[in-house]
Homo-oligomer: A and B are copies of this chain.
Amino acid sequence: MTPCVAIGIDFGGTNVKVALVSDGGQIIAKASGPTDAKAPPESVIAEMADLAKSLVKSAGASADQIVGAGLGSPGPLDFRRGTVVHSVNLPTWENVPIREMLAGRLGMDVALDNDANAAAFGEYWAGAGKGGGDFVLLTLGTGLGAGVVVDGNLLHGYHDNAAELGHMIVVPDGLPCGCGQQGCVEQYASASAVARRVKHAIESGASSVLSDCVDGGEAIDSRHVAQAASDGDPLSLRIWDEACTFLAIACVNIQHTFNPESIVLGGGMSEAGEFLLERVQREFLRRTWRLESDRPQIRLATLGYDAGVIGAAGLAWKRSGK
């Protein structure tokens, strides 16, 4: 017999991923489908529910083997109401009661959180934070996303907008950010930021092994920068090191705010592995205070792109109380 599972749904602007996840955080079966970002919310939610139901069916699971469903959704969300307030990637979505609509279609309770929080809960519950205590995930992608777990619960804040750690100011009057601030850490230490900073430096005349790509109009990303930096390209290495330094400063600030057991680095930039982690750890130790007893562990994420579905399912397991 199939063991009990929770349905995890990772709803993105491009794809929807669904998985059946055991109470140990293992994926038993998964499926995905495209998101039609222009379709009415009703039909997007109906397709999401159908994808989940056909996965349950193909896995041969009966209704009493499903403990519930969890959903990670683009936001901002209103957690009390269970609505998507709006979304950059889903232009027609305004105050959509997604939790209730999906619960109705699935015939079961749905645990809802935003995509960054679902991924953080996944890493906390079944990945790099498994078995540990208070936990912070930094996702180094297009921006610097984050999720914080305190006493086993995701932190939402009074206005549902806690853990926007990418917008922590680390350089007073520093680089402008799309959010309206200056000096946000995500302008220095996200996958996009390192690629953008190398590109701008080359366009301003700096020499680099990446000059040919940039001059030829090719898009560069953080993987190119990490590779060039580890090959010794001075420009790439300087910008990579600066990113690691600002991540280390962010880790010091997280140490003194949440004082977590671990801070985990995920997202595209974390694919550089030890070339990222070792530099962040070294700079963290150089910059944090002398007291040694309250230092967080800094680790790499382990679930990759599955963190979101696993975390969504983890929220369903948590909600079920099983």
A residues adjacent to B (C-beta < 8 A): 132-134, 148, 150, 155-165, 167-172, 177, 179-182, 245-246, 249, 252-254, 256-261, 287-291, 293-296
Secondary structure of the A contact surface, majority rule: loop
- State the CA gap A63–B287 with chains docked (Å): 52
* Nearest chain B residue, comparing its CB with the CB of A161: B294
Structural contact, B157 and A258, CB atoms closer than 8 A: yes
Interface pairs (21), CB distance under 8 Å: A134-B157, A150-B155, A157-B260, A157-B294, A158-B259, A159-B259, A159-B295, A159-B296, A161-B293, A161-B294, A162-B258, A163-B256, A165-B256, A167-B256, A168-B256, A169-B249, A177-B289, A179-B291, A181-B252, A181-B288, A253-B253
CB of A95, distance to nearest CB on chain B (Å) = 13
Give Cα A256 to B155, complex, Å.
11
Do B172 and A158 touch (CB < 8 A)? no
The answer to whether residues A289 and B181 also contact, given A257-B168, A259-B158 and a CB cut-off of 8 A, is yes
A159 touches B294 (CB 8 A): yes
